[in-house]
Structure 1
Amino acid sequence: MIFEKIVLENFATYKGRNEIKLTPRDHKPIVLIGGENGCGKTSMLDAFQLLLFGPTARCSNRGKLNYETYLKRCINRKADPEEGAVLELTMQFYIGGKLKRYRIRRAWSLKKNKIKERFGAYHLSDDGEKFDAVFSDNWADYVEGIFPSKVAPFFLFDGEKIEQLADFENSGPLIRAAITSLLGLNHVDQLSADLLILEKRKFKELATLEEKDNLEQIEKELADLDKNIADLRAEEARLNNLIDRQNGKLEDIELRYRQQGGELYNRRNELELKLESSRDQVSTLEAELREIAAGASPLLLVDNLLSDIATQAEHEDKAERSRILNEELQQRDEQLLSILKKEALNNGVMSRIDQFLKEDLQTRQKVAETECYLHLSPEAQHKLNLLRGSELPLLRKEISSTLSNLQEANNKLEAIERSLASIPEEETIAQLLAERHQANEEAARLKFALSTNEEELRKAKYKREMVSASLKRELEKTAEKRFEGKDQRRLLQYSAKSRKTLEIFRKKVIKKHLAKIEANVLEAFKKLLRKEGLVHSLEITPETLQLKIFNADAEEIPPDRLSAGERQLLATALLWGICRTAGKPLPTIIDTPLGRLDTSHRTNLVKNYFPCASHQVLLLSTNEEIVGRYYEELSPFISHTALLCHNEKQGGTTVHPGYFS
């Protein structure tokens, strides 16, 4: 099947006639439609549901509204209600091995406060368009063969709301519905139900009045249980819708709360404790600096003077040594010259030696004449050198480190003081706090109501199974008594045997395909999951169709071990795996495809899922999802794009070519 084109006219947020071409081009499966929140992405998903399934459509915000009331609300608020709304879908699919093209049109308007709906199916061929009365009158039956309503949630879904599929305890019914429809077991179930109706009819024809009364009583109990189950399911849908709305309201309140400094308000006590701790740290560091300043550290201020003192002390030391040495050298020189004269050396040589000795003595005399005023002892000079070479450099390093720590502590203290100064007063934020408290209480109340409803639904389903089994036993028991030797007895016996055979057949078909489904789901999950070693194997219990996952040690992984993003990926893998197993070539439409996923999970979906989800994939994205590098990575698979633009003054949303800039 391929969706070629959808038309939305005065439907929900859409004003006027809006047409979007959906046929993939150039062997690229993805049609990308962008729109900010409130522009009508979810309404478009609802439009596909309404077009295909009409009164039984599972729309996002229908809740317990009856069909007419819901249609009334779907007319654009700025459109003329008497003109109403129109939805059209052009598509192609195979019937009896032949490719057919049809345009279905669903229109409704409000006249005299009553909704009037018109539905038509038009066959498209080379000869033009022709109204198909048979298709139009029996569309509900035809669509079940083309696009079964029970599998629609696996192909038309909101990316943020599929996490329920990964609820291991409650996913069984959803998996059962999908497998039943995708594997064609709904026909087996219908045949089994028809046989049971036949048995009841034959029983009533020949049963006694008492037996008929007993049967009618059981059937009435079954009917009451069916109605109760239907009401509980409707209530479940209504509560889920209210919870979604309440979560949206909470997100809005939380955003306003953060914008007004609510997070700082929540951290007041924490910040005050940090302020006290930071002040203590600053005081400690200042005390350390004072202690350092009480020692030799002030000498760092006169480091150049200490250098001059060390130089002067060295000069004085050399001068003192020169004075002592000069006296000794002068006596030695006189003795040396006297000896040389006795040896009768050449006068020229004697003259040069005498000149050299005099000049050397003069040079040394200049050193000895250095002014001496320090007169440092050797011990004092040693202490000075130790101070300059070791103690003062260590002090300088210690002071620098302490000053750096003090600066950092002061910066931290100032930041905490600024944060505390930014905290709104309680009276400023009191109303928002009350709103948040009330919204949280309402959310908790709704969740409790949903939990209670789910428990009642579980009990009602169990009771129905018991009553249904009781009805079957009653029929079989009465048949044994009433129809011995009669054709009716054989008919009932064979009918009961046929139902048992069908049930065995059903179980074997499911068991046969479960291994393939498990393998496909596991393969899909591993492709989407960034933690390669988290899940080693996967199992769907044949009896309950509940999902279980295991690690490499064959230990079952509880649901709470998975993050919200991982559960969403598991739900996506479940959808993908079941659809791959069934092999039904149906389009896939995903609203908010990346939802609340983090960066790595988004990357895995973009690379590994969207291009392979189906031969035709329609993605309805916000401006915070498939943009930037995600758009670049997906662009080789994008056939074309469209952009939903909302203009309140013009009365709603219109569709334009292009995408977010």
Structure 2
Amino acid sequence: MILNQLVLHNVGTFAGRHVIDLTPPSTSRPIVLVGGLNGAGKTTILESIQLALYGSLAHASGRRNGSYDNYLRGLVHRGVPTSEGAAIELTFTAHQEGMQHKYWIRRSWKSSGASIREILLVSVDDRHNQALTSTWSEHVETFLPRGIAGLFFFDGEQIEALADLERSRQVLSSALAALLGLDLVERLTTDLAVLKRRHRGEQVPDSLRQAVEEKKQLVTAHRQREEAATEAEAARRTELERSQKLFHEATEAYRAAGGDLLDQRETAESTAAMVRAGLARCEDEIRHELTETSPLLQLGGLLEQLGEQVRVEAAAQRDILLVEAFSVRDDTLLQKLTDAKVKASTLTAVEQFLGDDRETRRSSADIEQIVGYPDPVALEGLLALTLPEARTRLQSAVDRRAMFKAEREQAERVLAAIPDPEAMAPLNARREETRDLLYRAEAAYAVATELLNSARTDRARAHDAYETTLDKAAHANLAADDDRRLVEHVGRVRATLENLRVAATRRHLERISHLVMEALGMLLRKENLITDVQIDPETHAVALTGVDGQSLPAKNLSAGERQLLAVALLWGLARAAGQPLPVVIDTPLGRLDGTHREHLLERYFPQASHQVILLSTDTEIDEEAYERIAPRVGRAYHLKFDAATNASYVVDGYFWSE
């Protein structure tokens, strides 16, 4: 099946006639991408396709809270005369009995007083077919059963619902029943129960009929109470989901305006104060150093020259003393050598050496005393130890001062970026208001759920009491063996049908679980996170097995991983259907992180079907995500909302590819 064209006339936010070509240009580019901001009409496209196909039997969306007439009336574009109304046209190609046929459906409606008049037209191969028009609700089941439509037409909210494995049981139950044909078994079981109850009721004599009737009326009363509680619970759930959405939007608006920074204001101010204090301490340390020997560092080479001059002068003073001391010593030495009758040549050589040495020292001592520094050792200590240590301490303090200044500038930038609390007050008040609404909605939903569970329990008890009364009356008053056998055989047949349902489900669940595991393997970032998926054939509960072979509770998965599990369930069930049907997804990416988004973009969307229609905002499939799937995109549209006309219109190209 291929969806070829969708025409919207005065539907939702679309005023006038708008034509959207949905046929992929090639099998290698199966994706039709429709982008638009919230409120531009993406959900309207999804609902319009389902409405065209199924009419009043279409899957009820979150915007359909009342009757079908009120739903149609709400779909008519505001400002359009009631006499003009709205219309949806859907053209698609489907194979029937080995032949390809082109279908055209037009569903139009307009107000006629207090009611809505709806007109359905169906054409096959460009020829109007009145017989098919009158039986369309039955004929559409032959190529797209309504029971499995949810596997191919769904939105992000449906994925989030499936991500809760407790809430997913009902979806899995209805999908499996439609896939395996078990809805016929369930209807037959119900018919047998009605037959048995009717037969037993007819056999009750007048003496017991009153008791049976009282139990029946009690069952009816409790069933009505349960239905009312179910409607109330659904309404409270809708209010809860709406409150959750409003709170999320208010929170995101508060964060986008800098609310997170405002919440961290005390921390930022404390950090800035600590940095300023550190900078002040560092500057005090520098001032202290400058009151000591550090200023001498500015003299640089002068101190080195001073040290050298002091050393030269000290050496000269030392030589003067040595010359005086050596004169006496040399005379004594020469006298001793003379007394020892040393050779005259040797004595002359020694005398010459000693004289030259004294003369050399006398010459080196003959310099001008410029400095006259009294303590050369102290000066050497100053140059070798004190000044280098002062230089190290001062440099360290200067470096830390530069670091503190950089941290102070960063802290001041953070403080400057914090918005004014008064300017944020309306957004904060809106957030608190929606938070209160959410709390009240959660409390109301909890009360409605409790009342519904109580009503179900009471109805079950009343039903059991009614069944018990019927059994007693029937077994006490059955006059013929044929009647008794009929009642017994009906019970056996119902038990057999139940065993058949479980056996048939178990037989196919292994293949479905395998398909779901294949989908998970392609979607999950942690490829070994889930090693097995099992669906209980009786309760339809989903059980996961981790890499260690132990049961893996769904609560241990992240929100993104649970959403991918929901997508894998939908994908596996859709593949199990074995029918080449298009896939239409509204708000497909939800709150997934980067890697999970990449897996959906690269592994699911291009392979989900031969035709995949994505309805997305610019934040879900952003510019980077668009670049990833662009090679697989056959057509792209942008829904733009014109505030002047209060209507949306369709242009070719996505947000960044127009």
TM-score (norm 1): 0.85
Q: Deviations over 1:435-472 (max 9, x none)?
A: 33222111111122223333333444455455555555
The answer on 1:613 being equivalent to 2:623 is no
What aligned pairs does 1:432-447 form with structure 2 within 5 A after superposition?
432-447=427-442
CA distance in 1 between partners of 2:224 and 2:579 (Å) = 33
Secondary structure of 2:71's partner? helix
Shift of the 63–209 alpha-carbon distance from structure 1 to 2, 3 Å rule, reads: farther
- Does the alignment pair 1:50 with 2:56? no
Greater mean deviation of Cα atoms: 377-386 or 74-83? 377-386
Unpaired segments of 5 or more residues in structure 1? Answer: 336-340, 344-353
Aligned counterpart for 2:502 among listed residues 474, 497, 507? 507
**Matching residue within 399, 409, 421 for 1:411:** 409
Contact 1:151 1:178 in 2 (8 A): yes
Deviates more, 1:35-44 or 1:224-233: 224-233
Return 70-79 or 278-287, whichever deviates more: 278-287
Asked if the contact 1:260/1:424 (under 8 Å) is kept, the reply is no
- Tell me whether 567-576 or 150-159 shows the greater mean CA deviation: 150-159
Q: Does structure 1 residue 162 correspond to structure 2 residue 163? A: no
Distance 1:374 1:481, change over 3 A: farther
Q: 1:608 to 1:459 in 2, by over 3 A?
A: farther
TM-aligned CA deviation for residue 39 of structure 1:
1.0
Change (3 A) 1:272 1:231: same
**Runs of at least 5 residues in structure 2 that lack an aligned partner in the other structure:** 335-343, 347-351
Residues in 2 aligned to 1:382 and 1:242: alpha-carbon distance in whole angstroms: 87
Distance 1:19 1:233 in 2: 40
SS of residue in 2 equivalent to 1:13? coil
Q: How many residues align?
A: 639
Note the 1:23-172 alignment, pairs <5 A.
Answer: 23-27=23-27, 28-96=29-97, 98-124=99-125, 129-172=126-169
Task: Give the whole-Å Cα distance in 2 for the aligned partners of 1:576 and 1:119.
Answer: 32
- State the shift of 1:494 in Å: 2.8
Matched, 1:494 2:494: no
Q: What is aligned with 1:8?
A: 8
Q: Structure 2: how far apart are the matches of 1:417 and 1:101? A: 65
- Determine if contact 1:268/1:423 at 8 Å carries over to the other structure: no
Answering whether residue 640 of structure 2 is matched by residue 645 of structure 1, we say yes
Structure 1 residues 498, 456: CA separation in 2 closer, same or farther (over 3 Å shift)? same
Aligned 8 A contact 1:278 1:412 in 2: no
Other-structure match for 1:387: 385
Residues 63, 237 of structure 1: 8 Å contact kept: no
Matches within 5 A, 1:275-314: 275-314=272-311
**Partner of residue 178, structure 1:** 175
> Residue 500 of structure 2 aligns to which amino acid in structure 1?
F
SS of aligned partner of 2:300: helix
For 1:231 and 1:133, the matched residues in 2 are separated by 39
Specify whether residues 402 and 374 from structure 1 end up closer, same or farther in structure 2 by C-alpha distance, changes over 3 A only: farther
Contact 2:106 2:122 in 1 (8 A): yes
Aligned CA RMSD, in angstroms, stands at 3.7
2:48 and 2:255 mapped to 1: Cα distance? 36
Q: What residue is the counterpart of 1:348 in the other structure?
A: none
Aligned-pair identity in percent equals 33
Mapped to 2, the partners of 1:11 and 1:102 lie a distance apart of: 21
Q: TM-score, with normalisation over the residues of structure 2?
A: 0.85
1:295-326 residue CA offsets vs partner (Å, 9 max, x unmatched): 43333333343333234334445656777899
What is the alpha-carbon distance in structure 1 between the residues aligned to residue 83 and residue 142 of structure 2?
Answer: 34
Q: Which shows bigger deviation, 63-72 or 202-211? A: 202-211
SS at match of 2:486: helix
CA distance in 2, matches of 1:136, 1:213: 48
Q: How does 1:391-402 map to 2 (within 5 A)?
A: 391-402=389-400
Which residue of structure 1 aligns with residue 449 of structure 2? Answer: 454
Give me the whole-angstrom Cα distance separating, in 1, the residues matched to 2:474 and 2:605. Answer: 56
Cα distance, 1:16 vs. partner?
1.4
Distance 2:190 2:78 in 1: 45
TM-superposed deviation, 1:40: 0.4
Please give the per-residue CA displacement for 1:205-252, whole angstroms capped at 9, x wherever unaligned: 444345555555555455445544444444444334333433343344
Distance 2:526 2:291 in 1: 59
Q: Secondary structure at the match of 2:639?
A: strand
The 1:512/1:312 distance shift into structure 2, 3 A limit, reads: farther
Question: Is the deviation greater in 99-108 or in 450-459?
Answer: 450-459
The answer to whether the 8 Å contact 1:281/1:409 transfers is no
Mean CA deviation greater in 441-450 or 402-411: 402-411
| Pair 1:417–1:170, CA change in 2 (3 A) | closer
> Matched residues in 2 for 1:214 and 1:93: separation?
56
Q: Distance in 2 between matches of 1:602 and 1:408?
A: 38
Q: Distance in 1 between matches of 2:566 and 2:227?
A: 25
Q: In structure 1, how many angstroms separate the alpha carbons of the residues matched to 2:644 and 2:442?
A: 38
Could you say which residue in structure 2 is the equivalent of 1:542? 537
- Secondary structure of the residue aligned to 2:529 is coil
- Deviation string 1:379-417 (CA, Å, 9 cap, x unpaired) is 224303423674134224422333234324433553465
1:266 maps to what in 2?
Answer: 263
* Aligned-pair CA distance for 1:189: 0.7
Q: 1:347 — aligned with what?
A: none
Task: Tell me, yes or no, if the aligned pair for 2:279 and 2:401 is still in contact at 8 Å.
Answer: no
d(CA) in 2 for partners of 1:141 and 1:211? 43
Q: What does residue 630 of structure 2 align with?
A: 635
> Aligned in 2, Cα 1:639/1:219: closer, same or farther, shift over 3 Å?
farther
Tell me the distance in 2 between the aligned counterparts of 1:48 and 1:211.
Answer: 54
Alpha-carbon contact 2:24-2:31 (below 8 Å) kept: yes
Mapped to 2, the partners of 1:222 and 1:138 lie a distance apart of: 36
The one-letter code of the counterpart of 1:20 is I
Alpha carbons of structure 1 residues 415 and 380: separation in structure 2 relative to 1, 3 Å: same
